[in-house]
Structure 1
Amino acid sequence: MKALLAAVLCLCTLAAFSDCVTVQVGKFSFPLESVKKLKDFMDNSVTGNPYLLNVRSASLCAISDIPKEFLDLCATPDADQIFEELKPIARSPELCEICAFAACAGC
């Protein structure tokens, strides 16, 4: 019972701090919450197949509901590459909350 309580407390703490986590890719910095939302857009942007190797920025940037933090990225020529670098973080954001990705930084 104590282990379950400790696990729940740990998860709640991680959830509380996830608002403070940022993801740095190149010169761009994004809140982790926005990167989490990006996963849904990535899954649906290219024929609905989440396992495609390349995420095309043109299809992501054409979505009107994309988080506003990505609009500056959409205007750059290396957007495809940066979206590809964000893809593993978007797919497993819990690893970013414990800083397993080098691109992630806490509060």
Structure 2
Amino acid sequence: MIAITSQGKDLDSQINSRFGRCEYIIFYDQETKDYEAKENPSRHAAGGAGISTAQFLSDNNVKVLITGNVGPKAMRVLNAAEIKVFTKASNTVKEALVDYEKGKLKQTEEATTN
């Protein structure tokens, strides 16, 4: 399962660069090409949004995350859950998925923001 942070509910939506406070997360199944958009339950959290969003992905059996930026605390949770993280994605969810499948996105194990 691939998770993509998004500003909207479909594949034509723009990537949301804010991991922990993104509006939606698109859950995409590479085998079936099906997807489901879920509201990020942590987007309005007073604190710890990145950590709880990372846990939400782990709870949903995500193996790959495509996003803009990830902070250090969230990255620790993602690494512990063995979720591969690809950052600096831009444009639409659909374009990011194509870039991922073509190997154009770079994987990171380090935080990209504070």
Q: How high is the TM-score relative to the length of structure 1?
A: 0.31
More strand by share: 2
Higher relative contact order, structure no. (Cα contacts within 8 Å, ≥ 6 residues apart): 1
More helix by share: 1
Q: How high is the TM-score relative to the length of structure 2?
A: 0.29
Structure showing greater radius of gyration is 1
